[in-house]
Amino acid sequence: MIKVLVAGFMGSMGQKTVEMINQTGNFQLVAGLGPNSQGIDRTEYHLNEDVKIFEQLSEVETDADVWVDFTVPTSAYENVKFAIEHGIHPVVGTSGVPDNQVAELITLAAEKQVGGLIAPNFGLSAVLLMKFAQEAARYFPDAEVIEMHHEDKLDAPSGTAISTAKMIAAARGVDPVTPATNETVAGARGSDVAGVPVHAVRLPGYVAHEQVLFGGPGEALTLRQDSFDRSSFMSGVKLAIPAVIDAKTLMIGLENIL
Ligand SMILES: NC(=O)C1=CN([C@@H]2O[C@H](COP(=O)(O)OP(=O)(O)OC[C@H]3O[C@@H](n4cnc5c(N)ncnc54)[C@H](OP(=O)(O)O)[C@@H]3O)[C@@H](O)[C@H]2O)C=CC1
Ligand SMILES: O=C(O)C1=N[C@H](C(=O)O)C[C@H](O)C1
């Protein structure tokens, strides 16, 4: 039995994770971390009487093997640091964690020999899109990323878009044509991630979607993936939980365990 703590258990992704754990025979939910969790109705959040609930990181006492983190960009670093220092293997979906904090966590995990996984996206369609984008960038160095998300998303651009842009930049052999466009309205050309323009759309009705547009002389290629429901991320989380138990390093990207 793999014992799991879910940080952010009251949120959209946290609740999907709780339900997935409850439905998986060899996983046991032992704890949940969430601000404002005091006095909640356990039934509403799919928690049985044995699950420990903590409001703050400083209160956490657990025998969990794995720490699943779907929280907010400002808390994930401290949460994951705590997990590694306590020998709990992290599985992290929280986006917007700065590169320097991720680098520190990788070093700490290696020192403590407590491996885990940070995945910008646990959905198979997004992982494949990134792989195909890398391949396409070898032939089409000129590319732009458009990501579209629900209106509650705290960070922009998305973690997936940042990863996609970095992968395109690393894969393309030649420099892209740099258009000499003047922005008559600031931001019209999007943000610059590793030299790749990235545009972030936030609209009600959307969940999580990404397009990568490649252009070449007289032709274009468009890659697109859609997560219509947050259940799309759960097969990846379900794979990651057992995969990190024996890991000695903190891996970045679901492709490491597929
Ligand atoms: N990698 C992937 O495949 C995916 C990643 N994500 C990412 O996961 C994260 C969560 O997304 P989502 O569930 O939609 O967001 P929600 O806002 O629905 O949930 C976030 C939860 O985290 C809680 N929280 C805030 N601070 C802390 C803390 N210090 N410790 C523990 N919990 C805390 C919030 O509580 P409260 O509201 O009470 O403050 C809230 O319940 C985001 O960063 C998102 O980008 C999302 C989908 C897929
Ligand atoms: O906030 C979300 O919803 C998502 N966040 C992740 C990201 O920033 O890439 C993954 C997915 O896009 C959903």
Q: What is the pLDDT of residues 177-222, one digit of tens each?
A: 877 788 999 999 999 999 999 999 999 999 999 999 999 999 999 9
pLDDT of residue 181: 82
Does ligand 2 have an atom closer than 6 angstroms to the CB of 94? no
CA of 217 to the centre of ligand 1 (A): 42
Tell me phi and psi for residue 149, to 5 degrees.
-140, 165
In the chain, pLDDT over 90 holds for what percent of residues? 96
Q: For a pocket test of ligand 1, which of 38, 53, 72 has the largest count of ligand atoms closer than 8 A to its C-beta?
A: 72
Q: Is the CB of 149 under 6 A from ligand 2?
A: yes
End-to-end CA distance of the chain: 22
Q: Is 3 exposed, middle or buried (0-12, 13-18, 19+ CB in 10 A)?
A: middle
* Domains assigned to the chain: 2-118+231-256 (3.40.50.720), 124-227 (3.30.360.10)
Contact 52, 29 (CB under 8 A): no
Query: Which residues contact residue 71 at a Cβ distance below 8 angstroms, ignoring those fewer than 6 apart?
Result: 7, 8, 11, 14, 79, 94
Residue 230 Cβ < 6 Å to ligand 2: no
The pLDDT score that the predictor gives to residue 143 is 97
**pLDDT higher than 90, residue 254:** yes
Residue whose CA is closest, atom 3 of ligand 2?
Answer: 208
Question: Is the pLDDT confidence value at 69 over 80?
Answer: yes
Ligand nearest to the CA of 73: 1
pLDDT at 106 over 90: yes
Return the residue whose CA atom lies nearest to atom 30 of ligand 1. Answer: 34
**Per-residue confidence band for 176, with pLDDT thresholds at 50, 70 and 90:** confident
pLDDT of residue 179: 76
Cα of 6 from ligand 1 centre, angstroms? 11
The pLDDT, as a whole number, for residue 71 is: 98
The pLDDT value recorded for residue 177 is 86
Q: By percentage, how much of the chain surpasses pLDDT 70?
A: 100
Q: What is the pLDDT of residues 139-169, one digit of tens each?
A: 999 999 999 999 999 999 999 999 999 999 9
Check 16, 89, 153, 209 and give the catalytic one. 153
The reply, when asked if residue 9 is annotated as ligand binding, is yes
For the stretch 5-56, pLDDT in tens is 999 999 999 999 999 999 999 999 999 999 999 999 999 999 999 999 999 9
List strands edge to edge, sheet with 196-202: 191-193, 196-202, 143-149, 208-216, 219-227
